[in-house]
Structure 1
Amino acid sequence: MNILPITSPFAPFNQERRDAVDPYASAAQSAAVLRSGLQYRRERIEASDMITTDEAAQLVGTSRVTINAWIKAGRCIGVSNLRRGFKLPRWQFEPAIWPVLQPLAKSLDTTDGWQLLSFLESPSMALDGKTPRAALEQGVSVERILALATAGAH
C-alpha cells in the first residue's frame, strides 16, 4: 500500500518545512526590485524619444495646458518627471499610434502613463513577440491591439 503524506500548512513547523524554499522575497530582494524599477523609470524618462509637455505642445500645435488635460484624460501618454511635470514619448503622436491612445486607455481601464507605456512597449506572445507599438506601426489592426489590452486588463 502506497501512502501519500500530506502536510497541512497549519501543522506545527518542522524541519522538513524549514528546508523548503521560501516562496516570499526577502526585504533585501524586495528593495532591490524597487531600486531596479526606479532606475528603469529614470532611464526611460531620460531616453532620447521622451519630450517635455512644452515640446509636445509645439509638436502638435497646441498649448501645454491642453497636453496636460490630454494626459489626465488618457488621450496621450505622460509619465511623471522626477523634477516636475511630465515627459511624453514623441512617437505617440505618429498617425499609427495617436488615434489608438484614448481607446487603449479605456480598454486598459487606466489613464496612468506608466501603465499605457508599459503595455505599448512590452513584447507580447499574442503578437509573435512584438510590442503592441511595433505591431500597430506594422499594420496590425487596432481592434486586435484593443482586444489584447482588454484581455490583459481583466
Structure 2
Amino acid sequence: MTASKSTTGVRSGAGRRARTAGKTTLTMTTFFVGPDQTLPKGSAGFKVELPGTASQLLTRSRRHMKALLQGYGDAIVKSRAAGRPVSFRVEVDPEGETVVTAVEEAIAARETVQAAAAPDAELTAALAAARERGRLRAAEILGGDDMLSAKDFAKMLGTTRVTVNAKRQSGQILGLDGAKRGFRFPVWQLDAEGRPYCELAALHERLGAPWAVYRFLVQPHGELDGLTGCEALERGKVQAALEAAESIGRDFR
C-alpha cells in the first residue's frame, strides 16, 4: 500500500496477479490521493471523499486500512458463496485502533432462530385445546352454588356493591372474573364471624392473581399436612398458610 502526502481523498486500484503455491491471487494496491490528484497510469479505481481528520487517520496506519479492506473483501466472498447477505463488525477506539471481527452470517443465524421459535402446529393445537378446557372449567367453577354475584355478596356482608368491588381491587376480597357472568365471589372466603379472611390481602400479594389465590385456597398442600389453604385458615394455621403461599409464589416468579 502506498500513501501520498495528500490525505483528503482515497482511491483504490487493482494491482497485479501473482501465483502462490499453484494458486492465482489478485494483489490489490490502495492509493491515498487528494481530490485534485489522479491515480497512476494504468490503474483503475474509484474515489471516496472523506473528512480531513478521517483521511489523516487512515493514511497514518496501513494496518488499520488493511484490516478494514480485508474484512470487507472476506464478506463479499462469503456472501457470494452463501448466496445471502453476511456481515462483519468493525470496532474503533478513540485512538484509532481498529478491530475487525470474523465474518458473521447474521441473516442466516437470525433465520435459524426464527425457524426454531416458530410454533409447531401440534403444539399450537394442544395449547388451544388446553385454553379451551381451562375456559370451560372456569365457567363451571363460576357457575357453582358457592359463587355469588357482587350484589348478593354485598347483601351478605351488609354493604354495597361499590364497597365489594373496591375491596376486590385491593385484594381484601377474592373475586373471580367471568367473561359472561361478571365477577363472582366465593361464599367460603368468609370466616366464622361472616367477614372475609383478613389474610386474603397477604395471599394476593404473595400469589399475584385472583385465580392463583383461589387454587391455593381449594387445593390441598403438603406444606399444610394435606389441608387446603381455606381449611388452614379455618383452623387458625395462619402463619403456616402464609408461608406455604410465599413458597408457591416464589416458585412461579
Task: State the Cα deviation string for residues 29-68 of structure 1 (Å, max 9, x = none).
Answer: 2122111111110000001100000011100111000000
**What is the TM-score of this pair, normalised by structure 1?**
0.75
Kept after mapping to 1: 8 A contact 2:167/2:173: yes
1:41 aligned residue: 138
Point out which structure has higher relative CO (alpha carbons under 8 A, 6+ apart). Answer: 1
2:204 aligned residue: 105
RMSD: 1.8
Amino acid paired to 1:151: S
Listed as ranges, the gaps of 5+ residues in structure 2 are: 1-121
Alignment of 1:5-44 (within 5 A): 26-44=123-141
Secondary structure of the structure 1 residue equivalent to 2:220: coil
1-structure distance, mates of 2:140, 2:241: 26
2-structure distance, mates of 1:85, 1:41: 12
Say yes or no: does 1:150 pair with 2:246: yes
2:92 aligned residue: none
1:93 aligned residue: 190
The one of 209, 212, 216 equivalent to 1:115 is 212
Kept after mapping to 1: 8 A contact 2:204/2:210: no
Runs of 4+ residues deviating >4 angstroms: none
1:70 aligned residue: 167
* Structure exhibiting the larger radius of gyration computed from Cα positions: 2
2-structure distance, mates of 1:42, 1:74: 22
Secondary structure of the structure 2 residue equivalent to 1:86: strand
**What is the TM-score of this pair, normalised by structure 2?**
0.47
2:43 aligned residue: none
Aligned-residue identity in percent: 31
Residue correspondences, number = 127
Shift of 1:144: 0.6
Of Structure 1 and Structure 2, the greater helix share is in 1
Amino acid paired to 2:242: L
2-structure distance, mates of 1:31, 1:85: 23
Listed as ranges, the gaps of 5+ residues in structure 1 are: 1-24
Amino acid paired to 1:150: E
Of Structure 1 and Structure 2, the greater strand share is in 2
Shift of 1:140: 4.6
